[in-house]
Chain A
Amino acid sequence: MLQTKLKEKMITVLFWLSALIIVGILIAVIGYIFVKGLAHVNLDFILEAPKRAGKEGGISTTIIGTLYLTAVSLFIAVPLGVATAIYLEEYARQKSRFAFIVNLTAETLAGIPSIIYGLFGFVFFVIFMNMGWSIISGGLTLAIMILPTITRTSQEAILSVPGEYRENSLALGASKWQTISKIIIPAAVPGILTGVILSIGRAIGETAAIILTAGSSLGMPLSLADPARTMSVHLYILAMEGLSMERAFGTAVLIVVLVIIINYLANLSLRRLSHSR
């Protein structure tokens, strides 16, 4: 009897310990990067362009590159993903083969590793479509990568819109598309937003696919046809080539800060969603 009790106690400790390890890992990673990197982050670091391959200067062009690429990918993926979700949830028959395949495709796309997307983007956009290493090649590649996330979160958002809205709108003489565009999509916006925020996080962190499709030029990207380097790619190159550990730490701090902000926003919009229901 006493033995069982002791055993149960030990198991409890084990469970709490494993949770503690998870939190410990997180604190270690974020904490270490902050402690070592915060000192190197200042306004100059953010606003100055990199010099001598990144050994000196700031990281302004990589921040612009990151923003540019993220914006392009969202611009393409959000309409496509939302449209896909609308089709699947509002038009496709429940057991249609097409819907089954699209759903399966979205899940498969979500599982493909970024390096494969990189290879594809390289042969297809960079070489075959002759777009070269550029914002547009990288943005299109990134768009395919985030498409499943946008599609799935939009699907969930649309599904959670009460069915009565549809009936009421149709009974007022609205057409199906009027109902979707005026009632359902506006009601689903918070959920869709969560997907968009998560996708931004993915776009900011993506590295392997970007190196192969957008290149790693440190210049200021001006047009869609220009190559660009993102903060993540910059971090990789600085660290791997040992160019400047200080700047690598500084870049890592900025990336982590962005990730934390995005995480917070995603949670906020999720929570607002569950409150409004």
Chain B
Amino acid sequence: MIENYVEDSKMMGRIFDGKESKKGAKNIRFNAEYMIEKLLMLCAGISILAIVLIALFILVRGVPLIAKTGLNDFLFNLKWDPTRGSFGIGTMFIGSLVVTLASMLWSVPLGLLTAVFMAEIAPPSVGNFMARMVELLAGIPSVVYGFFGLVVIVPLIREYLGGNGMSVLAGALILGIMILPTLINISRDAIIAVPREYKEGSLALGATHYQTIRRVIMPAARSGIITAIVLGMGRAIGETMAVVMVTGNSTIIPDGPLTPVRTMTSNIVLEMGYAAGDHQAALFATGTVLFIFIVVLNLIVNISAKAGSQNAAN
């Protein structure tokens, strides 16, 4: 058996007997490989195409209206009365900011504490359990949170705090829950990435664990934590279904946590179904504002993160 095999290989003779490397054969194989590479590159280019198309189609529909009303007027005019041709998203612009900031007021501290807990304090089994819980929290769709807010939070607020319950407060509570996973995951990763030596050095100097966390680990993880907060904010501003179900959606300037409010995203989803003409354009203009805001936010974070990782690599 083995002998046979050897015969075979002997018969093939020299390394190149001129049979296999004729130009034609080589070129066919080369071309197939080349075409595959180009095809894959084309696929990779589709994400670029997608973002260009998204920007183009939203801006083309939105910008003319902003140009017509003037950016200032569009953003800060408080009168939204689309059927009478008055397109000011001032109340919603402020509404988005107020609900977002209010949600971060409680979720940022809670998220950071939990992130530190998971990375530094919890025993591994508890840390893993928490990671699973946070994943699940992230996996629940926004419409379910909105529904929960509608049937639980809103009635609770109505009962115990007054008003009709649909309010800035309800929105802030639900939105806060929704951005917790973003806050926790990114800042936890940043804390874990702090080199061990920093921590050991500090402990060796006689600092307690908590002193080390506060004076060494948190400062070292700062840029990651800021990223977490910024991306969390981006998520909060862009969130739609959860807020639309619990904030009441009145186009007024909120004067307290119990007043109803409408965000820019809610505005779009509420009126898109029947809007036409300039009214529809105004909704796209609202989308334009959102889009630019969030893309700029993301680009800043991503580019600075990339630059940071490149510096670290060098």
Contact = CB atoms under 8 A, between A and B. Distances in A.
B242 to A, nearest CB: 10
Contact of B306 (A87, A104, A114, A119): A104
Contact of A108 (B39, B126, B269, B295): B295
A259 B193 CA distance: 30
B240 A208 contact: yes
B121 interface: yes
Interface in B61-78: 61
Contacts of A255: 141, 143-144
Contacts of A118: 268-269, 272
Nearest to A29: B148
Contact of B130 (A19, A87, A232): A19
Chain B CB within 10 Å — which of A19, A147, A175 has the most?
A19
B79 interface: no
B245 A107 contact: no
A147 B266 CA distance: 25
Chain B CB within 10 Å — which of A30, A105, A263 has the most?
A105
A109 B245 contact: no
A104 B41 CA distance: 16
Contacts of B269: 115, 118, 208, 211-212
Interface string B137-181: 101111111111011100000000000000000000000010010
Nearest to A21: B110
A125 B58 CA distance: 13
Given A208-B240, A208-B241, A260-B136, A252 B110 contact: no
Contacts of A88: 44
B139 A116 contact: no
A205 B295 contact: no
B45 to A, nearest CB: 7
B40 interface: yes
Interface in A1-31: 4, 8, 11-12, 14-16, 18-19, 21-23, 25-26, 28-30
Contact of A263 (B29, B46, B61, B136): B136
Contact of B117 (A16, A235, A260): A16
Nearest to B263: A115
A196 interface: no
Interface residues of A, number: 87
A113 B117 contact: no
Contacts of A228: none
B15 interface: no
B51 A29 contact: no
B210 interface: yes
Contacts of A15: 113, 116-117, 121
A33 B133 contact: no
Interface in B87-139: 110, 113-114, 116-118, 121-122, 126, 130, 132-137, 139
A119 B135 contact: no
A111 B294 contact: yes
A269 B45 CA distance: 29
B50 A109 contact: yes
B235 A113 contact: yes
B287 interface: yes
Interface stretch (A54-62, A78-86, A160-168, A219-227): A78-86
A112 B295 contact: yes
A109 B51 contact: yes
Given A115-B268, A119-B283, 19 more contacts: A8-B208, A11-B210, A12-B121, A15-B117, A22-B137, A84-B44, A86-B40, A87-B43, A106-B47, A108-B298, A114-B240, A116-B58, A119-B284, A205-B140, A207-B241, A208-B240, A212-B272, A236-B147, A252-B144
